[in-house]
């Protein structure tokens, strides 16, 4: 499905951390990674974190989200998007997906806004950017903060602008299967100096900048280590290469899947988008009664082809279960699955995967 794309420098920079003994969260690689990643996203500030989830939590806290507040999130996303809202004491409000690109449907946001709504978290799902202009327009109209969950979309672009830096705050994940990785890790990016300052304090136990061991707010230890950042700096050197490879893989899949009956190919890029195809994801046709998605995945796994189902929508998950019907994301979720798309996948591998898929479907 996925694997990290490493070269020599990951090892070299990590070795340097060990040799210089800068292994914790102080160290030059942390600063360098924050500077270089925020530069890559065209934002003023980057604050590294221990994960994408903690980055989301800090972003919400910086925006003053807490008990009694409501935060609008797509139901079709990884659970962490909603959990981070819940950690603050606020309530996630679930919205259905756009049927073409599966990201939050901007036309369904206004109907769930109440006087308690404080923020919207669009998720750039599977590497395709959400339709930000429409979301920003609604946010502006109701005075809502926009936090982009770009955990799956490093380097993706909306109308030529990198995701993460389009809303008020953006977050990224560097988990092992993401576009670039630090093992575990995350980053908050923003252009707002007030958010930046607050996030730095909250990330470091809420410690006063003036007085050591003096705490005026409840903080956390959500820091990234220098070792993780060292890997991140090396990964960032090859992010364009990784994205180009993933885009090539997606184009090859699109071409070879064109005549496979029963499969709807991965959403095409909108003309305003650059998709980084985090996980190349297809749908079984709606009326394909011939084969069950889970059975198909099982049969592929028996032939050494690893796949992943689309996330079950969060409004259907036991911890959030609500009597809510969101037909688009429910349909995408039960018909969709991701095919292998790590950057080292060869054209031959893709041909083999398609051939096996074709056999299993027929």
Ligand X SMILES: *Cc1c(COP(=O)(O)O)cnc(C)c1O
Q: Which residues are near ligand X by CB under 6 A?
A: 51-53, 77-78, 80-81, 123, 149, 151-152, 173, 175, 186
For 215-225, letters b (16+ CB in 10 Å) and e give eeeebbebbbb
Strands (E), the chain: 45-49, 70-74, 91-95, 117-120, 145-149, 157-158, 161-162, 169-173, 186-190, 263-264, 273-274, 280-284, 308-309, 336-339
- What is the four-CA torsion angle of 343, 345, 350, 351, rounded to 10 degrees? 140
315: its two tokens:
């409004």
Smallest distance, Å, CB 80 to ligand X? 4
Q: Report the alpha-carbon distance of residue 210 to residue 227 in Å, rounded.
A: 27
Nearer to ligand X, 229 or 357 (CB): 229
Nearer to ligand X, 101 or 123 (CB): 123
Smallest distance, Å, CB 323 to ligand X? 25
Smallest distance, Å, CB 8 to ligand X? 25
At which residue do the structure tokens 């607050």 appear?
198
What are the phi and psi torsion angles at 104 (to 5°)? -55, 135
Closest-by-Cβ residue to ligand X is 52
Nearer to ligand X, 131 or 152 (CB): 152
Instruction: Give yes or no for a contact between 233 and 29, defined as CB atoms under 8 angstroms apart.
Output: yes
Nearer to ligand X, 202 or 354 (CB): 202
Smallest distance, Å, CB 87 to ligand X? 12
Nearer to ligand X, 151 or 276 (CB): 151
* Nearby residues of 53 by Cβ (< 8 Å), 6 or more positions away: 80, 83, 84, 173, 186
Q: Report the alpha-carbon distance of residue 76 to residue 74 in Å, rounded.
A: 5
Nearer to ligand X, 73 or 357 (CB): 73
Smallest distance, Å, CB 58 to ligand X? 12
Smallest distance, Å, CB 277 to ligand X? 14
Smallest distance, Å, CB 79 to ligand X? 8
Nearer to ligand X, 80 or 135 (CB): 80
């Amino acid at each position: 499905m996925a694997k990290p794309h490493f070269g020599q420098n990951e090892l070299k920079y990590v070795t340097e951390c060990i040799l210089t003994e800068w292994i914790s969260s102080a160290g030059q690689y942390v600063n360098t990674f924050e500077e270089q990643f925020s530069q890559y996203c065209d934002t003023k500030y980057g604050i590294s974190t221990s994960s994408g989830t903690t980055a989301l939590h800090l972003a919400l806290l910086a925006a003053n989200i807490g008990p009694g507040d409501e935060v609008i999130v797509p139901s079709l996303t990884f659970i962490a998007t909603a959990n981070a809202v819940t950690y603050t004491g606020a309530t996630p409000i679930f919205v259905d997906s756009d049927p073409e690109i599966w990201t939050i449907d901007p036309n369904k946001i206004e109907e769930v806004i109440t006087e308690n709504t404080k923020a919207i978290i669009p998720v750039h799902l599977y590497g395709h950017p959400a339709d930000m202009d429409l979301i920003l327009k609604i946010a502006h109209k109701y005075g809502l903060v926009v936090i982009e969950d770009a955990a799956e979309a490093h380097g993706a672009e909306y109308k030529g602008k990198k995701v993460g830096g389009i809303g008020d705050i953006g977050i990224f994940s560097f988990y092992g299967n993401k576009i670039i990785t630090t093992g575990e890790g995350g980053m908050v990016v923003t252009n707002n100096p007030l958010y930046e300052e607050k996030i730095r304090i909250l990330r470091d136990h809420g410690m006063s900048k003036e007085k050591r061991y003096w705490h005026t707010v409840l903080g956390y230890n959500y820091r990234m280590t220098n070792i993780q950042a060292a890997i991140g700096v090396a990964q960032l050197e090859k992010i364009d290469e990784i994205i180009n490879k993933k885009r090539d893989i997606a184009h090859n899949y699109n071409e070879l899947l064109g005549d496979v009956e029963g499969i709807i190919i991965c959403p095409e890029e909108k003309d305003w988008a650059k998709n980084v195809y985090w996980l190349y994801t297809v749908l079984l046709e709606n009326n394909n009664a011939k084969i069950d998605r889970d059975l198909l995945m099982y049969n592929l796994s028996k032939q050494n082809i690893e796949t992943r189902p689309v996330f079950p929508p969060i409004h259907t998950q036991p911890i959030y279960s609500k009597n809510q019907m969101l037909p688009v994301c429910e349909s995408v979720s039960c018909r969709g699955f991701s095919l292998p798309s790590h950057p080292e996948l060869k054209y031959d591998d893709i041909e083999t995967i398609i051939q096996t898929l074709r056999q299993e479907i027929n």
